[in-house]
Amino acid sequence: MITPDHITPTTCPYCGVGCNLELHVKDDYIYKVTSPFDSVVNQGNLCVKGRFGYDFIYHPKRVTTPLIRKTPQTAGQRTQAFDRSEWREASWDEALDTIAERLVEIYRRDGSEAMAVYCCAKATNEDNYLLQKMYRSFFRTNNVDHCTRLCHAGSVVALQQAIASSAMSNTAAEVIHSDCFIVTGSNTTENHPIIALQMIAAVEQYGAKMIVVDPRRMELCDFAELWLPLKPGTNVPVFTAMAHVIIQEGLVDREFVDQRTEGYAEFARSVEKFTPEYAESVSGVDRELIIQAAHMYATAERGAIYWGMGISQLSHGTASALSLIHLAFLTGHIGRQGTGLNPLRGQNNVQGTSDMGCMPYHYPGYMPVDDPQNAAKWETAWNIEPGGLNQKRGLTTTEILSNAHPGGVRSLYIMGENPMMSEPNLNLTRHHMQQLEFIIAQDLFINESGAFADVFLPATSWAEKDGTFTNTDRRVQRVRQAIAPRGGARPDWQILCDLAKRIEARLERQRTAYWDYSHPREILAEMGGVVPDYAGVTYERIDQVGLQVPVWDEAHPGTPFLFAETFPSGRGKFHPLEYVPVVEQPDDEYPFILVTGRVLEHWHGGTMTRHSKLDELYPEARVEISPPDATLAGITDGQAVRVSSRRGSIVLRATVTGKTSAGAVFIPFHFAEAAANLLTIDALDPQAKIPEYKACAVKIEPAGVNELAKPEAVLRRGRH
Ligand code: SF4
């Protein structure tokens, strides 16, 4: 029995649930993770990532000293360097001076348009606030974005259009107060495991009815009253047909519609053509199931909707999310406990990173950049001359790379992201990365994107620094340093402050924003001084239990659910929709629709989990295919296959499983050896600019075992 030197309470670094952790430390080494049973978020429950996935901190490949490429890189000729022999170690002074010199040189030569930054949804609020502040205040650019673009941008734009607020409206654990809830486009059991437990408890212990709408037969279907197995990309006809039924059968909450919404009459006319019969013809869902689902949700006392990226990661992701919002408007299932519109945010701090303004259209607090009054607020806060901030909307993540050419973006700062795994159509992404003139990577490992960098800055993990994360239900929670930084690694916020002072000196701007913080609490206070939602959040107040924003002042208790009286937009706006099919339909040459996503044991591009023992549980990519499709294609379980799209090809083993509907196949995107995003299409939603990860056409052929990257790999999880 080990007696810990100390037990440090903190927040999980993986998914948006934001589970509370206790890191048990002996001799500056974390040897165990537990969770307090009285945690309001997770009641002592943890999934395999939170419980065991911390060992990446000690992985021998972790970089703990600044690195500079030995061979100077040039635009168009840029190569990847994974091997440490291609880098030389540098002092922090040399690395930061090199970066400041090159960034200022490029900015002076090519201006704001040449500068771009990827912020990081895994880093703290304070880290992200500083990085966007650095680029906006010094380089006067709004080319600032992060991976929210790639996961929930469709939901964010839809919610902004409908109610002018884009966060989850309710607390995740409130699901036990719902009579009926819809789960759609979310494999919650694998992606938000603790919320899935709460959903199952709502059904089994509290008698709620769950409706699952998803192409895959996920574990939650075992607990659902109804499962609507729709074809990928047919959300709009299915949910709008539910709206049609609700209207036709007089199930509309007229009082709510009259008092809280606008545009109902036009919307009601627009849904006339979305009959259940029509929805069945395009989605494959039995019309009776659509009618039953509409009845069940509309007649509930408290109905809620939870959705994931199966809704937003489409070239019509905005319309897809709007079709859900309409259901809540029609039934009045919002603004009360146990109701609501709940996009389940992916990464641990994607909500906070968005709140911190790490997006090209918004300053912190979702203040549009093209409003001079907003710019003036931040010019005052950052001590910038009036009119100094750029009020032109910036480029999104995918646009930043597609603009990597002379006259466009020339330099890219990547803090903790991995576009070479997460962007669609990776062969094209590789080409774009090669065109950049200067790349900085700030991370723990040299991942597929960091391998393209000129300078690598070693950051600390979440267990080696202080800060805050904001989870999927808007709860701001503490992140606490449990162990000393490994080697020469430094917290992101300290790296950024030291770099900022060097840039400031070279730009000869001596009195711009403040960069002399002694602790992250001062950074949060600076941001909260301008952003009303965070005005009442202090480190002291969230020391024991987090607060759910908005928190208007230091006496405000936080906001478990939103919109009790009104929406930020005043009335909620209906938006008549059309059904727009996915861009690439299956055909004779490419007969399957590929859906991409995550598995329980891994996280995104795999920078952390693939340097963890978790990788031994799930060491290789698999393509999931339905039994009838496998029979037709002559494929057996475990066989090596080649999956190809019009953009690329990968070899991996097949898993034949009834989880996948006929005509669709599923591949997780965590594995560089068989990167699913080599196949995906770079078609974007025109409003949200989110790529269509959830549908592209592919073909599957048998391949040789010798073509597998890791033929010896054994999948140990045993739960297909
Ligand atoms: S459910 Fe999410 S937050 Fe909780 S332990 Fe698992 S990965 Fe961490």
| Cα–Cα distance for residue pair 132/32, rounded to 1 Å | 35
Q: Name the residue of 17, 41, 609 to mutate for ligand 1: max ligand atoms within 8 A of Cβ.
A: 17
Does the beta carbon of 47 sit less than 6 angstroms from any atom of ligand 1? yes
Among 297-306, 348-357, 486-495, 503-512, the least confident range: 503-512
Please name which of 365, 317, 299, 324 lies closest in space to residue 133, comparing C-alpha atoms: 365
- CA 367, chain centre distance (Å): 20
Does the beta carbon of 17 sit less than 6 angstroms from any atom of ligand 1? yes
Q: Whose CA is nearest to atom 8 of ligand 1?
A: 50
Tell me the CA–centroid distance for residue 443 and ligand 1, in Å.
21
Centre a 10 Å sphere on the Cβ of residue 143 and count the other Cβ atoms it contains.
Answer: 29
Q: Which atom of ligand 1 lies at the shortest distance from residue 195's CA?
A: 1
DSSP state of 92: H
Q: Whose CA is nearest to atom 6 of ligand 1?
A: 47
Centre a 10 Å sphere on the Cβ of residue 501 and count the other Cβ atoms it contains.
Answer: 14
Place 720 in a pLDDT band, splitting at 50, 70 and 90. Answer: very low
Tell me the CA–centroid distance for residue 212 and ligand 1, in Å.
22
Residue 487 reports pLDDT greater than 90: yes
The pLDDT of 281-291, averaged and rounded, is 98
| Cα–Cα distance for residue pair 640/663, rounded to 1 Å | 19
Does the beta carbon of 600 sit less than 6 angstroms from any atom of ligand 1? no
Centre a 10 Å sphere on the Cβ of residue 704 and count the other Cβ atoms it contains.
Answer: 10
Q: Name the residue of 46, 186, 199, 602 to mutate for ligand 1: max ligand atoms within 8 A of Cβ.
A: 46
The pLDDT of 219-236, averaged and rounded, is 97
Q: Name the residue of 12, 39, 600 to mutate for ligand 1: max ligand atoms within 8 A of Cβ.
A: 12
The pLDDT of 322-342, averaged and rounded, is 98
Residue 192 reports pLDDT greater than 90: yes
Q: Whose CA is nearest to atom 5 of ligand 1?
A: 50
Does the beta carbon of 597 sit less than 6 angstroms from any atom of ligand 1? no
Tell me the CA–centroid distance for residue 32 and ligand 1, in Å.
15
Does the beta carbon of 604 sit less than 6 angstroms from any atom of ligand 1? no
Which pLDDT score is estimated for 148? 81
Please name which of 359, 410, 231 lies closest in space to residue 689, comparing C-alpha atoms: 359
Residue 262 reports pLDDT greater than 90: yes
Tell me the CA–centroid distance for residue 193 and ligand 1, in Å.
7
Tell me the CA–centroid distance for residue 615 and ligand 1, in Å.
17
Q: Name the residue of 194, 469, 602 to mutate for ligand 1: max ligand atoms within 8 A of Cβ.
A: 194
Q: Which atom of ligand 1 lies at the shortest distance from residue 471's CA?
A: 3
Does the beta carbon of 49 sit less than 6 angstroms from any atom of ligand 1? yes
705, amino acid identity: V
Does the beta carbon of 12 sit less than 6 angstroms from any atom of ligand 1? yes
Tell me the CA–centroid distance for residue 148 and ligand 1, in Å.
18
Does the beta carbon of 602 sit less than 6 angstroms from any atom of ligand 1? no
Q: Name the residue of 11, 19, 42 to mutate for ligand 1: max ligand atoms within 8 A of Cβ.
A: 19
| Cα–Cα distance for residue pair 143/369, rounded to 1 Å | 11
Place of tokens 């109610």: 163
Q: Name the residue of 33, 39, 188, 192 to mutate for ligand 1: max ligand atoms within 8 A of Cβ.
A: 192
| Cα–Cα distance for residue pair 702/81, rounded to 1 Å | 32
Average pLDDT of the chain to the nearest whole number: 96
Residue 717 reports pLDDT greater than 80: no
Which pLDDT score is estimated for 152? 84
Whether residue 550 has a cis bond before it, omega within 30° of 0: yes
Does the beta carbon of 194 sit less than 6 angstroms from any atom of ligand 1? yes
Q: Which atom of ligand 1 lies at the shortest distance from residue 42's CA?
A: 4
Residue 221 reports pLDDT greater than 60: yes
Q: Which atom of ligand 1 lies at the shortest distance from residue 15's CA?
A: 2
3-class DSSP string for 269-321: HHCCCCCHHHHHHHHCCCHHHHHHHHHHHHCCCCEEEEECHHHHCCCCHHHHH
Tell me the CA–centroid distance for residue 444 and ligand 1, in Å.
20
Among 19-23, 220-224, 294-298, 600-604, the least confident range: 600-604
Which pLDDT score is estimated for 512? 66
Does the beta carbon of 608 sit less than 6 angstroms from any atom of ligand 1? no
Does the beta carbon of 121 sit less than 6 angstroms from any atom of ligand 1? no
Tell me the CA–centroid distance for residue 11 and ligand 1, in Å.
9
CB 565 within 8 A of CB 335: yes
Does the beta carbon of 621 sit less than 6 angstroms from any atom of ligand 1? no
| Cα–Cα distance for residue pair 192/15, rounded to 1 Å | 7
Which pLDDT score is estimated for 690? 92
| Cα–Cα distance for residue pair 203/186, rounded to 1 Å | 17
Tell me the CA–centroid distance for residue 719 and ligand 1, in Å.
19
Q: Which atom of ligand 1 lies at the shortest distance from residue 348's CA?
A: 3
Rg of the Cα atoms in the chain: 24
pTM reported for the whole predicted model? 0.96
Which pLDDT score is estimated for 718? 56
Q: Is 556 exposed, middle or buried (0-12, 13-18, 19+ CB in 10 A)?
A: middle
Residue 716 reports pLDDT greater than 90: no
Tell me the CA–centroid distance for residue 172 and ligand 1, in Å.
13
Which pLDDT score is estimated for 511? 65
Q: Whose CA is nearest to atom 2 of ligand 1?
A: 15
Host H or E run for residue 210: strand 209-213
308, amino acid identity: G
Tell me the CA–centroid distance for residue 185 and ligand 1, in Å.
19
Tell me the CA–centroid distance for residue 20 and ligand 1, in Å.
9
Does the beta carbon of 14 sit less than 6 angstroms from any atom of ligand 1? yes
Q: What are phi and psi of 710, to 5 degrees?
A: -135, 75
CB 476 within 8 A of CB 534: yes
Per-residue pLDDT of 399-443, as tens digits, reads 999 999 999 999 999 999 999 999 999 999 999 999 999 999 999
| Residue 450, C-beta contacts closer than 8 angstroms, at least 6 positions apart | 414, 418, 441, 443, 456
Q: What percent of the chain has pLDDT over 70?
A: 99
- Token pair recorded at residue 559: 């906001």
Which pLDDT score is estimated for 150? 83
Per-residue pLDDT of 514-563, as tens digits, reads 899 999 999 999 999 999 999 999 999 999 999 999 999 999 999 999 99
